[in-house]
């Protein structure tokens, strides 16, 4: 059952106190009891007081409080250079369904503003945890091998730097945005997109005639796919790119489309074409939308996208989203200033 804003407890993080370790141990055992029943696993050692004492001694252990009450905990690891990892995050099962976990996760990310990259893992069979992290912007980047005696494996998740959040009011002044509570009920779509360069430094771009815009190649991540498998499949289908090399992470965008009750997270990567182009395999819908592949230098592609005048809601979101991705790519590659000056750059 969904709760109104006033029914949701306030959530705060504090460094764990030694006097709370046994209480946290009991909460952790209860929080991971379902996983132990379902697939015979829980985080190694979390049922022992030693696990909690080590976290306290290392300074990696945070207490989660809801309306002042101890509600759970989290281990957070700083690997330096903006790379952070969440080791375990748990909430008392008696308090589930009140939005404590999602707000605790957001509070953890705010606590470390120097973080540019977050990672974690969660059991592949734990559908509830996977939905939780995916709705918070984390994307599947691969998995461990299944153990011999069982099919147990862990899914690795990553959260890229946020390039842009886009809402309808950003595109259409005067239009009311959905509230955060409404957005929490939006369906989620995750997508993989690429700035794909050929050997001459030209960028693949899809002209979408029906919407009056250009877009980056890429599309939705299907069930069971990690982001890299999805990206390679989409580049093969839309561009005919059978052989590519991923060269860098660019970042992610978040679109909140109230009219469709949809939130879309797009994960963008830079890539190079390393083999000959094959034949694209556009879907009937893409063909109907007038998808057509073209190649342009990144600065030229940015100019085309800036000049677009979309004639549909989705077209406006595409333009805003992909402009943010290409601009970030140019900035990261050192070409942004040259483009602003009108100079030629070679990537």
CATH number at residue 129: 3.40.630.30
With a cut of 50, say whether residue 339 has pLDDT above it. Answer: no
Q: Is 212 left (phi over 0), alpha (psi -120 to 50) or beta?
A: left
3-class state of residue 181 by DSSP: helix
Q: 120 and 32, same structural domain?
A: yes
With tokens 């470390």, the residue in question is 112
Q: 189 and 293, same structural domain?
A: yes
Give the sign of the dihedral formed by CA 109, CA 104, CA 132, CA 123. Answer: positive
Show the domain range for 119.
11-159
Q: What is the pLDDT of residues 240-253, one digit of tens each?
A: 999 999 999 999 99
Cα 36-40-46 angle, rounded to 5 deg? 55
State the pairing for strand pair 11-15/61-66: antiparallel
**Cβ contacts of residue 176 below 8 Å, gap of 6+?**
169
- Give the CATH number of the domain where residue 193 resides: 3.90.79.10
Q: 146 and 57, same structural domain?
A: yes
The residue out of 119, 143, 159 marking a domain boundary is 159
The residue out of 98, 132, 159 marking a domain boundary is 159
Q: What is the pLDDT of residues 7-46, one digit of tens each?
A: 689 999 999 999 999 999 999 999 999 999 988 889 999 9
Q: What is the pLDDT of residues 181-199, one digit of tens each?
A: 899 899 999 999 999 999 9
Query: What pLDDT, on the 0 to 100 scale, is given for residue 347?
Result: 22
Q: What is the pLDDT of residues 292-333, one digit of tens each?
A: 999 999 999 999 999 999 999 999 999 999 999 999 999 998
Q: 221 and 112, same structural domain?
A: no
């Amino acid at each position: 059952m969904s709760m109104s804003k006033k029914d949701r407890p306030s959530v705060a993080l504090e460094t764990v106190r030694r006097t709370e370790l046994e209480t946290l141990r009991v909460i952790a055992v209860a929080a991971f009891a379902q996983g132990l029943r379902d697939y015979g696993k829980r985080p190694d050692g979390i049922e022992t007081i030693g696990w909690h004492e080590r976290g306290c001694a290392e300074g990696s252990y945070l207490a989660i409080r809801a309306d002042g009450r101890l509600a759970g905990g989290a281990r957070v690891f700083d690997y330096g250079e903006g790379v952070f990892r969440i080791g375990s995050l748990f909430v008392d099962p008696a308090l589930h369904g009140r939005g404590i976990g999602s707000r605790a996760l957001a509070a953890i990310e705010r606590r470390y503003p120097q973080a540019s990259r977050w990672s974690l893992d969660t059991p592949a069979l734990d559908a509830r945890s996977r939905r939780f992290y995916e709705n918070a912007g984390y994307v599947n980047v691969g998995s461990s091998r299944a153990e011999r005696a069982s099919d147990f494996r862990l899914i690795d998740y990553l959260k890229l730097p946020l390039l842009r959040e886009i809402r309808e009011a950003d595109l259409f002044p005067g239009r009311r945005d959905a509230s955060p509570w409404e957005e929490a009920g939006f369906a989620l779509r995750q997508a993989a997109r690429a700035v794909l360069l050929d050997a001459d430094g030209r960028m693949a771009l899809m002209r979408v005639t029906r919407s009056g815009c250009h877009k980056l190649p890429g599309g939705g991540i299907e069930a069971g796919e990690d982001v890299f498998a999805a990206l390679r499949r989409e580049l093969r289908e839309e561009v005919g790119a059978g052989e590519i090399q991923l060269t860098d992470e660019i970042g992610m965008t978040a679109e909140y489309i109230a009219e469709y009750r949809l939130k879309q997270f797009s994960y963008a990567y830079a890539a190079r074409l390393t083999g000959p182009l094959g034949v694209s395999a556009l879907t009937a819908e893409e063909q109907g939308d007038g998808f057509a592949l073209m190649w342009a230098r990144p600065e030229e592609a940015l100019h085309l996208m800036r000049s677009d005048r979309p004639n549909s809601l989705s077209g406006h979101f595409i333009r805003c989203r992909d402009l943010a991705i290409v601009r970030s790519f140019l900035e990261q590659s050192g070409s942004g200033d040259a483009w602003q000056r009108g100079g030629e750059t070679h990537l």
